[in-house]
Homo-oligomer: A and B are copies of this chain.
C-alpha cells in the first residue's frame, strides 16, 4: 500500500476538486491510501466513509500571498506543512499539493530535505509536445532556482534522466541543454560550462545544445536549463498556445458565413488539437532532488488534473526512482 499525504486546502478549487480527484484515484488504484490534511469539518462534509482515506485536521492554510519561507516556518499547522511533515516523519511516502508553489518548494527543501549531495532540487513538469512519436518531454528546472551554477544543471540532467527512464519508461532519454544556438561553444558562461559537464557525463544520453523553438517537435526527452530561463520558456509556450487558440477562435467566429460554417465543422478537430497541449492529463511537476516524492499540481487543478497528480505520485513510488537517485549521488 502506497501512503500519500494530500494538501486538501491548496489550489484555486480546494477542497472540492481535491477531494473529487482523491476519490477518483482511490477508485482506480486499490494499492493507495490517502491522508488528507485540511479543515476537518469541510472535508468530512465532502467525503463519505472510505476505508482507504483518513482526514487529519489542520487549522491553518498557506495562501497564494504568503511569502514561501516565512509560511513554512510560521504556519506549522497549515495543511501543506503538516502534510510535508508527515512525509518527513515516515507516516506517508509522498505528498501532492496544488497550493502556493514557492511555499511548497520551501516545504520540500526545509521540511522533507534534500537528497545527500544534491545542491539544489529542481522543479520538473512533464510538458506535452506536438509530436506523435514523442508526445511529451520533461523540463528541468522550470522555476525552483532563479539562479544556478553549472553543478546544479549537471545534477538536474542526471536526476531528470533517471526520472524519464525509471518513471516514464524511456529507455535512453535524449537530454538536451537549452541554449541560444545549437553549436557547441555557444551560449553564456553558464551554458558553456554545463555543456562540458554534460558531454562528459556517462550516465546520460546527452545530445547537445537545443533551441527552445524545437521543444514542441519532440527533439528531446529531457530539456535542461536554469530555473529563470525554464520558467520563461514554459510560460511563453503556454501563453502562445493559449493566445493563438483564442485568436483563431475569434477569427472563425467573426468571419463570413463560409468561415463561420467551416469553423463549426472543424470544432471537434480543433478541440482535439488544443487537447494535445492540455496539461491536465500530464500530472503535476515533481520537485526532484529531495528525499521523497513531492508533486506540485497546477494551482487551477480540477478533479481530473489532481487525480493525475496522485497517479503520478503513485508511479514515482512504484518505480523506486527516488531511491535509485539517492544511491547514484551517495
Contact pattern, A 213-244, Cβ under 8 Å of B = 1, otherwise 0:
11111000000010111011101111111111
Residues of B contacting A143 with CB < 8 Å? Answer: 180
Chain B, residue nearest A232 (CB): B212
- Which residues of B sit under 8 angstroms from A240, Cβ to Cβ? 216, 236-237, 240-241, 244
Residue pair B235, A232 in contact (C-beta under 8 Å): no
A interface residues, how many (CB within 8 angstroms): 56
Residue pair A232, B273 in contact (C-beta under 8 Å)? no
Contacts of A247 in B (CB 8 A): 130, 273, 276
| Complex Cα gap A101–B244 (Å) | 28
A180–B232 contact, CB under 8 A? yes
Q: For the complex, would chain A's binding face be called helix, strand, loop or mixed by DSSP majority? A: helix
Q: Once the chains are docked, how many angstroms separate the CA of A12 from the CA of B239?
A: 31
Nearest CB in chain B to that of A186: its residue:
B146
Instruction: State how many copies of this chain the complex holds.
Output: 2
Residue A178 interfacial (CB < 8 Å): yes
Q: How far, in whole Å, are A221 and B1 apart by their CA atoms in the complex? A: 55
Q: Does A189 contact B (CB under 8 A)?
A: yes
1/0 per residue, CB under 8 A from B, across A254-295: the answer is 010011011111101110110011000000000000000000
CA distance A217 to B248 in the complex (A): 14
Chain B residues within 8 Å of A214, by CB: 239
Indicate if the CB atoms of A239 and B252 lie closer than 8 Å.
no
Given contacts A146-B187, A252-B266, whether A241 and B244 have CB atoms under 8 Å apart is: yes
Asked whether, in the complex, the Cβ of B243 is within 8 Å of the Cβ of A216, the reply is: yes
Q: Which of B189, B215, B229, B266 contacts A255, CB < 8 Å?
A: B266
For residues 193 through 228 of chain A, which have their beta carbon under 8 Å from a beta carbon of chain B?
Answer: 211-217, 225, 227-228
A133 on the B face (CB < 8 A): no
Residues of A83-129 at the interface with B, using a CB-CB cut-off of 8 Å, are none
